[in-house]
Structure 1
Amino acid sequence: MRDDESPAPGTAKGLTATPTPAAIPVQAAATPSGASRTASAAAPGTGASPWLRRLVVVGLLLAAVNLRPGITSLGALLEEVRDGLGMSGTMAGLLTSVPSACFALFGFAAPRLARRFGPGAVVCVGMAAITAGLALRPLAGNTVLFLVLSALALGGIAVSNVLMPVIVKRYFPDKVGTMTGLYSMALSLGTALAAAVTVPMTHALGHGWRLGLGVWAALAAVAVLPWLPLVRDRTGAPREPVGTPAEDSTRSADRAQATDRTRATDRTRAAGDGGSGRITGSRTAWALACFFGLQATAAYITMGWMPQIFRDAGLSADKAGLLLAVTMVMGVPLSFVLPPLAARMRTQGPLVVLLGVFGLIGYAGLWSAPAAAPWVWALLLGVANCAFPLALTMIGMRSRSGAGVVRLSAFAQSTGYLISIPGPILVGTLNQASGGWGLPILFMTALMVPQIVCGVLAGRRRHIEDEW
């Protein structure tokens, strides 16, 4: 069995890994059969017809565009939301931590739901949840209800985010890199678009922050449409051939023998392909989890609080939103450059240090003179935030097999998102307690040091299988 294939039904128990929040298209979730047997109409490597693959492309791009506006649009209008709901700094910090909590919690459920209902159905429901959450939360009259409805939208974002690589692997096994790049670009563009236009659009509509936030539900509603025909599609699953009873009996015996051989082979290979041992016993796995968590902390602090830092420094709300857009749009080109560069390097520590230095200089500028050169600080922090694709690349390089990568990705990302939850809350608390941004920015700067250390440790040329 190749490493990039889903385990056969008889695979040893230790090798059945559950994909979790991962942007590494190593292994697609198993699905029931239901695709057409007309090979002549199928695209290479799948059971999908060309029109179906074109529909999936449209669905992927629209879904990706909607995976961040619910977060960055709120960051651009956070001051108005706080005033409108009477929200404290700590509660505002909790609100900016909700994305991390949802990514950690809903990420565990997404693969299981996809195996039961199919990833197309789960993404369709996810887009509907985003639409409902973004449409209803502006109607909330108190902070608790606003948090609950935000969590509804973010839950849809989380499950869809987890399943994007699975969709790519299923429908485009021959173009994984190209399609991953396309939806990553669409995700970054959606993030930047919401940051840039939310405030001016709110002013143009003239009905306050509630309409300015709610209008993004319309874009999410459009993204539901291409997924409706994909709800029952089971393309990409292994198909059972049709034959006579005698042929079926022979095939059943062959499958039983093949299963026995697979079990024997997998028991032999278990110690070397990520299927055995406790991943918590690997120092490299812990270093990756901490690096992922600290970079996620910085990213969500940036998306949630950076516009407010610039606004409190005297910049207009429009300009603060554009600055956040500049920070977010840096992920478009660098997401294509960093992974192949990191893959060619013996160790990734130098890249970790370089990105960390950009972050330290950006934070220093925010602390000393935020209004003096805001475009420079936004650009520097945008480069530093590209630690995300670097972390994903390192996850793919720290195991010897596909099964090991899935286990490492599950551990590093789920643990990392849990680590990132307190950061935005503490920033809000420190801002309220100190009455300014000096102390919160020092806290953000201090977090960059362990991020660099953990990244250097995670970037060493090691494999997790050698450490347990």
Structure 2
Amino acid sequence: MTSRYTLFLCALILAAFNLRPGITSISPVLQGITRDLGMSSTSASLLTSIPLLCIGFCSLFAGRLAHRYQSEKIITLFIGCIGIATFLRFFTNSPWYLLLTSLLIGAGIGIVSPLISGFIKRYFPTSVAPMIGVYSTSMVVGASISIGMTTPLQHWFHDSWKIGLGFWCVLALIAIPLWYTVIRHPYTAKQETVQTQPASLPLQNKQAWLLTSFVGIVILLFYCFTAWLPAIVEEKGYAASYAGMIGTISMIAQLPATLLLPVLLRVIPGRRFWITFFTLSEIAGLAVLCFTDITPIVASVCLGIGGGGLVSLTLLLPIDKTNSAMEASTWSAMTQAIGYMIGAIGPIVIGLLYDYTGSFVPTLYLLIAVGFVVIVLGWKLTQPESSQLEEQTVYQT
């Protein structure tokens, strides 16, 4: 049983490694992409927004696929899809080609992500919160490595951003053999009741809709600064290499929040407190960029801590509300489907505003206002009389 537990844990980590580099590796080389392919800021923003839209749309089908086929097989198949689309970036020759690879990567992430929630619910039923921490941290590590290494890879290979982007297909090559082993040796100690009908999305549940709205605004805020933080720092007069480093620091700063979230929830179980704390951290980072000349490192740390904590909570809350792996998958599918579609609007709006105004300052004002919306939604979501989120706070490690 110990060896199987280790197998499932490693599979979880390697799957998570594949869920961010296809999006985050774009940011460090965005200037080179726009220059070489002749893209405007608005069109370049689609390289982030299109994957988010695809994540949202494809999440709708994750539950049905998991019901019809073994969920582990579906996860393996779509990790392969992410790897193939990333590999195709070696051969980029036009904006449309690059956007197509972004679409395929988003589709793969959209299917895999909600099924991972069900995987955690099924295989780690007594340690959900710690496994969410492992899952979130692994995604952050994958994102941090891709942001930090894409530019050096570009320089090592004759200033080719195509190689810098395509290199990350190696993560899928590592993950797929391990997931094939999971398929051959599934966990059988805990069997769930077999369902004759696929679990439907909780479209009639008010809490599900409130949670979906919260997740959407959190994702919008997160991917706005993920996509545009280096460019914002460059506008303040810093070199491109320094701006890229700031993006990496922001990703690394997410690690404490994701790693320590289970511990933090045991110390202060209330979701409301941590939603407020992490959101105020993001607002503080945006305010530093907007209103001060303090080094952007301070802003990047605040944004990283806040973003990492909030995204981890969005992964935990659907599992909090459900009683089975299939139900967890459908709640995650709904929150991701609509939430990521909401989130996809953000980078496009930032690109449009920049093209129109020639400055990122108005966008920073907008993002600060969005931060306060997150707090309002979070407080409404965690009202004791209308939510069970704060009542289900005991997790065994």
What is the TM-score normalised by the length of structure 1?
Answer: 0.73
Could you tell me which residue of structure 2 aligns to residue 203 of structure 1?
155
Q: CA deviation at 1:178?
A: 4.3
Kindly provide the amino acid, as one letter, of the partner of residue 318 in structure 1: S
Give the conservation status (yes or no) of the 8 Å contact 2:59–2:114.
yes
Correspondence for 1:427 among 336, 350, 354? 350
Answering whether residue 301 of structure 2 is matched by residue 349 of structure 1, we say no
Cα distance change, pair 186–276 in 1 and its aligned pair in 2 (3 A): closer
Q: CA deviation at 1:185?
A: 2.1
Could you tell me which residue of structure 2 aligns to residue 163 of structure 1?
115
Kindly provide the amino acid, as one letter, of the partner of residue 349 in structure 2: L
Answering whether residue 11 of structure 2 is matched by residue 59 of structure 1, we say yes
Q: CA deviation at 1:278?
A: 7.5
Answering whether residue 84 of structure 2 is matched by residue 132 of structure 1, we say yes
Cα distance change, pair 345–395 in 1 and its aligned pair in 2 (3 A): farther
Kindly provide the amino acid, as one letter, of the partner of residue 81 in structure 1: I
Give the conservation status (yes or no) of the 8 Å contact 2:133–2:260.
no
Within-5 A mapping of 1:67-216: 67-173=19-125, 175-216=127-168
Could you tell me which residue of structure 2 aligns to residue 368 of structure 1?
291
Give the conservation status (yes or no) of the 8 Å contact 2:50–2:103.
yes
Q: Name the CA distance, whole Å, in 1 between partners of 2:204 and 2:125.
A: 31
SS at match of 2:188: coil
Correspondence for 1:220 among 130, 149, 172? 172
**Greater Rg over alpha carbons, structure:** 1
Give the conservation status (yes or no) of the 8 Å contact 2:55–2:108.
no
Q: CA deviation at 1:223?
A: 1.8
RMSD over aligned CA atoms reads 3.2
Could you tell me which residue of structure 2 aligns to residue 383 of structure 1?
305
Q: CA deviation at 1:389?
A: 2.2
Could you tell me which residue of structure 1 aligns to residue 216 of structure 2?
293
Kindly provide the amino acid, as one letter, of the partner of residue 154 in structure 1: G
Could you tell me which residue of structure 1 aligns to residue 254 of structure 2?
331
Give the conservation status (yes or no) of the 8 Å contact 1:120–1:232.
no
SS at match of 2:39: coil
Kindly provide the amino acid, as one letter, of the partner of residue 299 in structure 1: F
Q: Name the CA distance, whole Å, in 1 between partners of 2:104 and 2:152.
A: 26
Q: Name the CA distance, whole Å, in 1 between partners of 2:165 and 2:270.
A: 43
Q: What runs of 5+ residues in structure 1 fail to find an aligned partner?
A: 1-42, 44-49, 240-257, 263-274
Cα distance change, pair 384–300 in 1 and its aligned pair in 2 (3 A): same
Q: What runs of 5+ residues in structure 2 fail to find an aligned partner?
A: 389-397
Cα distance change, pair 51–328 in 1 and its aligned pair in 2 (3 A): same
Kindly provide the amino acid, as one letter, of the partner of residue 387 in structure 1: L
Give the conservation status (yes or no) of the 8 Å contact 1:191–1:328.
yes
Cα distance change, pair 457–87 in 1 and its aligned pair in 2 (3 A): same
Q: CA deviation at 1:290?
A: 2.1
Q: CA deviation at 1:114?
A: 2.3
Q: Name the CA distance, whole Å, in 2 between partners of 1:210 and 1:287.
A: 40
Cα distance change, pair 362–236 in 1 and its aligned pair in 2 (3 A): same
Give the conservation status (yes or no) of the 8 Å contact 2:87–2:169.
yes
Q: Name the CA distance, whole Å, in 2 between partners of 1:277 and 1:139.
A: 39
Q: Name the CA distance, whole Å, in 2 between partners of 1:314 and 1:188.
A: 28
Give the conservation status (yes or no) of the 8 Å contact 1:118–1:234.
no
Q: CA deviation at 1:405?
A: 6.5
Cα distance change, pair 171–189 in 1 and its aligned pair in 2 (3 A): same
1:292-346 per-position Cα deviation (integer Å, ceiling 9, x unaligned): 1111001111221111212233333332232222222233221243455457757
Cα distance change, pair 172–448 in 1 and its aligned pair in 2 (3 A): closer
Q: CA deviation at 1:395?
A: 4.3
Give the conservation status (yes or no) of the 8 Å contact 2:15–2:79.
yes
SS at match of 1:381: helix
Give the conservation status (yes or no) of the 8 Å contact 2:285–2:299.
yes
SS at match of 1:87: coil
SS at match of 1:236: coil
Kindly provide the amino acid, as one letter, of the partner of residue 283 in structure 2: L
Give the conservation status (yes or no) of the 8 Å contact 1:290–1:451.
no
Q: CA deviation at 1:381?
A: 0.8
SS at match of 1:327: helix
Give the conservation status (yes or no) of the 8 Å contact 1:356–1:384.
yes
Name the count of aligned residue pairs. Answer: 383
Cα distance change, pair 289–160 in 1 and its aligned pair in 2 (3 A): closer
Q: CA deviation at 1:431?
A: 0.7
Correspondence for 2:339 among 404, 408, 416? 416
Cα distance change, pair 226–338 in 1 and its aligned pair in 2 (3 A): closer
Give the conservation status (yes or no) of the 8 Å contact 1:103–1:158.
yes
Cα distance change, pair 358–208 in 1 and its aligned pair in 2 (3 A): same
1:154-200 per-position Cα deviation (integer Å, ceiling 9, x unaligned): 22222222222333344444554444433332221111111112112
Cα distance change, pair 182–356 in 1 and its aligned pair in 2 (3 A): closer
SS at match of 1:77: helix
Kindly provide the amino acid, as one letter, of the partner of residue 304 in structure 1: A
Could you tell me which residue of structure 2 aligns to residue 306 of structure 1?
229
